[in-house]
């Protein structure tokens, strides 16, 4: 009996030692809001403003290094299961099914918050004569029901936030037109529209609406932003300027949301706080988007048609 008891204790001790050894091999994050390195994923539609946010944050905290992977929205959600990715920036919150999936897989998110509002701009070649579109006309264009030669172009068909937004908001589950074309990136959409008079493009306004961005200033004269009728005010049509996005008078708006799975107070938490702060919100404002967490004055400016 004593031999059996001693054997049992030996097994228990060995199991405990092995467990401790295994736990010791799990990497413990060493970054803080002021130093260290992390990876995050962001929807490609928001690349211009995310790049500026990261650049400014790293200039304020020079001992930090934030490496961003830009990819389709669906891939960003999948990245939440990757241990090395602790934050994603997308255009929607998880669905109830996704929340359960994240809870079962990683114990859930630490925090999520909408920090700014973006718009999906409808763009065309400067020769385009039809400058005002209703949501129903855009729906018919995307579904192929309009009998004309215009071809819709989007930033990829692999579950980008823009494609998902158009399917949810305009198509409402209808299959897209077989003519629907997919460009590799948002910039490729703009380039294609600039070179082809027979297409209508859909792109995040942060790629084309910033009059202070040198690259965007190159493309702005080569495409035309179209106006969209607000269903609640059928006699009015709106361009995706900052005020109309802020008030949602422009009907094709969506939020920019971060999802944070960081349990400790690390560099992801620091970036999240920065996006919420006055400095981060000012960056959204300077990008001609609508900051959601700070009040700024909006002066009336005529947006180029």
What six digits make up the tokens of 173? 């589950």
pTM to 2 decimals? 0.84
Q: Which CATH code fits 119-253?
A: 3.40.190.10
Question: Token digits for 43?
Answer: 């929807």
Provide the pLDDT for residue 29.
Answer: 65
Question: Tokens for 141?
Answer: 């264009």
The reply to whether domains 36-117+255-291 and 119-253 share a CATH topology is yes
Looking at the DSSP bridge assignments, the partners of residue 65 are 37
**Architecture category of domain 36-117+255-291 in CATH:** 3-Layer(aba) Sandwich (3.40)
Domain ranges across the chain: 36-117+255-291, 119-253
At 126 the pLDDT is: 95
Per-residue model confidence (pLDDT) at position 304: 46
| Average pLDDT per 10 consecutive residues for the chain, totaling 305 residues | 45 43 50 95 95 98 97 92 92 91 89 96 96 95 86 83 91 89 92 96 92 85 95 92 94 96 92 97 94 75 47
The 233-238 sheet, strands edge to edge: 132-133, 227-230, 233-238
Q: Taking Cα atoms as reference points, which of 36, 35, 41 lies closest to residue 86?
A: 41
């Amino acid at each position: 009996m004593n031999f059996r008891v001693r054997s049992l204790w030996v097994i228990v001790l060995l199991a405990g030692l092995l467990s401790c050894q295994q736990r010791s091999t799990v990497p413990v994050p060493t970054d803080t809001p002021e130093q260290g390195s992390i990876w995050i994923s962001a929807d490609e539609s928001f690349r211009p403003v995310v790049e500026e946010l990261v650049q400014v944050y790293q200039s304020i905290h020079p001992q930090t290094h934030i490496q961003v992977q830009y990819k389709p929205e669906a891939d960003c959600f999948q990245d939440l299961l990757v241990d090395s990715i602790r934050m994603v920036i997308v255009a929607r919150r998880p669905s109830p099914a996704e929340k359960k999936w994240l809870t079962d897989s990683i114990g859930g998110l630490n925090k999520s918050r909408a920090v700014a509002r973006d718009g999906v701009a409808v763009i065309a070649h400067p020769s385009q004569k039809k400058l005002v579109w209703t949501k129903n006309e855009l729906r018919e264009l995307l579904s192929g029901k309009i009998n004309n030669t215009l071809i819709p172009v989007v930033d990829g068909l692999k579950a980008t936030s823009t494609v998902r937004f158009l399917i949810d908001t305009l198509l409402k589950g209808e299959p897209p037109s077989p003519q629907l074309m997919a460009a590799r990136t948002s910039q490729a959409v703009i380039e294609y529209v600039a070179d082809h008079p027979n297409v209508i493009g859909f792109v995040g306004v942060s790629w084309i609406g910033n009059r202070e961005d040198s690259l965007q200033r190159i493309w702005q004269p080569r495409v035309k932003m179209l106006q969209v009728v607000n269903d609640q005010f059928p006699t009015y049509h709106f361009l995706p300027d900052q005020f109309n996005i802020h008030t949602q008078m422009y009907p094709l708006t969506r939020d920019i949301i971060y999802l944070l799975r960081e349990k400790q107070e690390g560099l992801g938490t620091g970036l999240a706080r920065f996006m919420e702060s006055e400095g981060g919100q000012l960056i959204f404002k300077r990008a001609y988007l609508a900051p959601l967490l700070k009040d700024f004055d909006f002066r009336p400016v005529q947006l180029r048609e």
